[in-house]
Amino acid sequence: ETGVTQTPRHLVMGMTNKKSLKCEQHLGHNAMYWYKQSAKKPLELMFVYSLEERVENNSVPSRFSPECPNSSHLFLHLHTLQPEDSALYLCASSQELRGQGLYEQYFGPGTRLTVT
Amino acid sequence: LAKTTQPISMDSYEGQEVNITCSHNNIATNDYITWYQQFPSQGPRFIIQGYKTKVTNEVASLFIPADRKSSTLSLPRVSLSDTAVYYCLVVNNTDKLIFGTGTRLQVFP
């Protein structure tokens, strides 16, 4: 148990569906992240929120839409996904101290997404 | 961006010490060296972070030479439960959060 929870743990959706992934951190951190991990590929950083402001968007397709309503919650809204979007989606949080190194990130268990 | 290079895989036996070396030739002055462990279908877990010389915690040791162009993660007396993928990252800001392919460690009984 890392203090970061993700729901749902598994999701199967069709290409025309709209769904949302939820992440919640109970650690009092000020930064949250979305990662994508496809089979046999490295983790890819998708979005970063620091103090509820999006500070990083790594050229992610617009069919992925993040939302960070407060420092404890992070959502990833999904619509019209493609089969190649099937992957493990991981949320993480950290206490970011700018210019003082990147402190450890705490990852959630992930959501296994299958797009049919 | 400081790229890291590590062996794709390593094998060991229970009770042995395992050393995984990571190369990061163009590490910047403000970069820290960080290692994560990941089990299948789980998120990565932070192991250790260091800037120079040696860092030790209850799980591992991290050795960093003076030029900081490489680092070695040392796992003492591994067990079967240490079978996982180990990632070396060189980080300072969020734009350097690049997880490579990692080193797949297999521990045999």
Q: In this predicted model, what pLDDT tens digit does every residue of B3-36 receive, in sequence order?
A: 899 999 999 999 999 999 999 998 888 888 999 9
**CA neighbours closer than 13 Å in the CB half-sphere of residue A73:** 8
Q: Decide if B49 touches A, using CB distance below 8 A.
A: yes
Q: Which residues contact B46 (CB under 8 A, 6 or more apart)?
A: A104, A105, A106, B34, B35, B36
Q: Which of B87, B97, B103 to mutate to test the interface with A (most CBs of A within 10 A)?
A: B97
* Whole-number Å distance between alpha carbons of B104 and A4: 25
The neighbouring-strand residues paired with A20 are: A77
Q: Test B45 with A2 for CB contact under 8 angstroms.
A: yes
Partners of residue A31 in chain B, C-beta under 8 Å: 94
| Mean pLDDT along residues A13-28 | 94
Question: Which chain A residues touch B6 with a CB distance below 8 Å?
Answer: none
Range among A36-50, A65-79, A84-98, B92-106 rated most confident: A65-79
The rounded distance, in Å, linking the Cα atoms of B109 and B100 is 28
Q: How far apart are CA B47 and CA A8, in angstroms?
A: 27
Of the residues A36, A105, A111, A114, the best mutation for testing chain B's interface (the one with the most B CB atoms within 10 Å of its CB) is A105
SS3 B94: helix
Q: Do B32 and A101 touch (CB under 8 A)?
A: yes
Q: Taking CB atoms and an 8 Å limit, are B43 and A55 in contact across chains?
A: no
Across the range B43-62, mean pLDDT stands at 93
